[in-house]
Amino acid sequence: QKEVEQNSGPLSVPEGAIASLNCTYSDRVSQSFFWYRQYSGKSPELIMSIYSNGDKEDGRFTAQLNKASQYVSLLIRDSQPSDSATYLCAEGGGGSNYKLTFGKGTLLTVNP
C-alpha cells in the first residue's frame, strides 16, 4: 500500500517569506510526483509535476525531488496571501491504472 505523508500544518509564514512544504513517500520505485493546490471549497489545481532528482522551477514555485531519501518538497518564494491554501502532494501509480496516491495535505497560511 503506497503512502504519502505530509505535515498537516497549519504552516504559517509572513508575506514575502519562503514557504517550504514537505512530503515523503513509501514506494521506492515511484517515478512521478505532483503538487496540487486546493483552496477552501474548491477542487485541486495542478501546480507542478516532477520526475527527476533535483530542482524544477516554475515562477515562484520550486519542486525538489530526492529519490534516495524518498522526499519531495515545494518551495514558494515571495509568498502572497493568495497562496493560502491546502497543498497536496501526490505520487504517481505507474503501471496501467495511473492512479495517484495523495497525501492529506498541508494547510498554508500567508499572513499579510
Partner 1 sequence: GAVVSQHPSRVICKSGTSVKIECRSLDFQATTMFWYRQFPKQSLMLMATSNEGSKATYEQGVEKDKFLINHASLTLSTLTVTSAHPEDSSFYICSASGGDQETQYFGPGTRLLVL
Per CB under 8 A, does 46 bind partner 1?
Answer: yes
Other residues' Cβ atoms within 10 Å of the Cβ of residue 74? 23
- Positive or negative, the CA dihedral 95, 49, 42, 10 is positive
When binding is defined by CB under 8 A, the residue of 25, 35, 36, 87 that contacts partner 1 is 36
Considering beta carbons, is residue 9 or 17 the nearer one to partner 1?
9
Other residues' Cβ atoms within 10 Å of the Cβ of residue 83? 19
- CA 107, CA 89: separation in Å to the nearest integer? 12
**Are 36 and 87 a contacting pair, CB within 8 Å?**
yes
Considering beta carbons, is residue 42 or 77 the nearer one to partner 1?
42
Stretch that binds partner 1, among 16-24, 31-39, 55-63, 69-77 (CB under 8 A): 31-39
Applying CB under 8 A, the site for partner 1 has a residue count of 21
Interacting residues toward partner 1 by CB under 8 A: 32, 34, 36, 42-46, 49, 88, 90, 92-94, 97-100, 102, 104-105
